[in-house]
Amino acid sequence: MRRVAVTGMGLVTPLGRGVKTNWERLIGGQSGIRTIERFDVSDLPCKIAGQIQFGDGSDGTLNLDDVVDSKERKKMDDFIIYALAAADEAIADSGWKPADDEDAEMTGVLIGSGIGGLPGIDDGSITIATKGPRRLSPFFIPSTLINLASGHVSIRYGFKGPNHAVVTACSTGAHAIGDAARMIALGDADVMVAGGTEGAVCRMGIAGFAAARALSTAYNETPTEASRPYDQGRDGFVMGEGAGIVVLEDLEHAKKRGAKIYAEVVGYGLSGDAYHITAPSEDGNGGFRSMRMALKRAGLNPEEIDYINAHGTSTPKGDEIEAGAVMRLFGAASNTVSMSSTKSSIGHLLGAAGAVEAIYSILSINHDIVPPTLNLRNPSESVQGLDLVPLEAKEKKVRAALSNSFGFGGTNASLVVKEFN
């Protein structure tokens, strides 16, 4: 099978637009979690989220006019706009531009989303209920369909290779990168634009996850303290929005054109819990097996992994189950590996999480710095043997990193990225 390189990266997250801004703020210990002001939260138990900051493009804000003309924006829900913004950055960063039809047909797009156009579905439902079906926009369906993120990117750039989308809840972003890497490994494409996007911070989204009792509700007055993975005071996750997109490329193809190579995608593992629709299996067996498969595919032993970007959503159960699975799989190496949850900074980006966190993992390799787990002041007893990088980033040689994503439905994905040399 062919080897797969990462040659471009793009991010739009609650920490800001752009990979550079994200990394500076992430390792600087900043939080992107704020009070929700975009819609009425007075009757919602959770009033905070990791939200994209809009503006004129300065100071890491996202200038929507830079991404899509205002007339076109009504044809796409937030998750598509975020995907386009991150894809623009990743593709420009990679320097890849198909020279002819053959190139274009070997360049594909695989961007997933956990939920898709929930704000549009929320609005559309109100329109039907109050004004009747004739007032529903003809753009309602294409603006909310999950695969339209991939569709818009392919249309904008003329990429005619595989055009696909993943929908596996909070594992989406990791599955998208893993599946796209396989398409390259198997020769279906030479280049794949892959990742995850989510824009579900709306009344329906917050109300829905709150109804499932998944969200933090105790920190509405102190939003930056709400996402606190592994901490004894954690009480649920904080929703986030944004997108992470990478350009994956056949290693030889990348070398031939002299592309800059950030890392290699060497491992990918997938598994199912076969247990419960929202809760992880108590013994962490699903996550254990996806990590084990990813390491096996990578041909790496646990002691060769220096950093784990955990799923670590800040829910009471999930964090300790994942940590337990890591300690069982890593054995003695769990004393030396560093594991942090960057959801402590940006919240849980659902379908975008796995892709954003894969990029953070690659950046940890590139910079030899591991990002912190914010707000981790009193770790739960069961995780105390692990280096969870509390409160502050730290310098550390990172040769390879593992990134976990686990989703509702008991779907698990793990990626291993490795330094290229």
Partner 1 sequence: MSDIAERVKNIVVDHLGVEASKVTENASFIDDLGADSLDTVELVMAFEEEFGVEISDDAAEKILTVKDAIDYIQSQQG
The residues annotated as belonging to the active site are: 170, 311, 348
**DSSP letters spanning 24-85:** HHHHTT---EEE--SS--TT-S--EEE-PPBSSSGGG-B-HHHHS-HHHHTTS-HHHHHHHH
Contact between 133 and partner 1 per CB under 8 A: no
**Residue number with CB closer to partner 1 (66 or 72):** 72
Question: Would you say 314 and 229 are in contact if contact means Cβ atoms under 8 Å apart?
Answer: yes
- If phi > 0 it is left, if psi is from -120 to 50 it is alpha, else beta; for residue 363 that is alpha
Task: Give CA angle at 245 (229, 200), nearest 5°.
Answer: 60
Contact between 163 and partner 1 per CB under 8 A: no
Six-digit token string for 187: 């020769």
Contact between 397 and partner 1 per CB under 8 A: no
CB of 135 to partner 1, least distance (A): 7
Other beta carbons less than 10 A from residue 125's beta carbon? 12
Contact characters 15-54, partner 1, x per CB under 8 A: ----------------------------------------
Q: Which helix (H) or strand (E) holds 360?
A: helix 353-367
CB of 138 to partner 1, least distance (A): 4
Write the CA distances from 56 to 64, 76, 79, 199, 346, integer angstroms.
Answer: 8, 20, 19, 20, 21
Contact between 138 and partner 1 per CB under 8 A: yes
Contact between 137 and partner 1 per CB under 8 A: yes
Contact characters 61-80, partner 1, x per CB under 8 A: --------xxxx--x-----
Q: Return d(Cα 32, Cα 63) in angstroms, integer.
A: 17
Contact between 134 and partner 1 per CB under 8 A: yes
Write the CA distances from 294 to 68, 327, 330, integer angstroms.
Answer: 37, 16, 13
Q: Site for partner 1 (CB under 8 A): how many residues?
A: 11
Going by C-alpha positions, the residue among 157, 57, 171, 70 that lies closest to residue 113 is 171
Q: Which stretch binds partner 1 (CB under 8 A): 85-93, 133-141, 234-242, 380-388?
A: 133-141
Q: Which amino acid is at 73?
A: R
Q: Which of residues 140-159 bind partner 1 (CB under 8 A)?
A: 142
CB of 344 to partner 1, least distance (A): 41
Contact characters 83-122, partner 1, x per CB under 8 A: ----------------------------------------
**Residue number with CB closer to partner 1 (71 or 397):** 71
Of the residues 21, 45, 139, 303, which one makes contact with partner 1 according to CB under 8 A = 139
Task: Give CA angle at 99 (155, 196), nearest 5°.
Answer: 40
CB of 127 to partner 1, least distance (A): 11
Give contact residues for partner 1 (rule: CB under 8 A).
Answer: 69-72, 75, 134-135, 137-139, 142
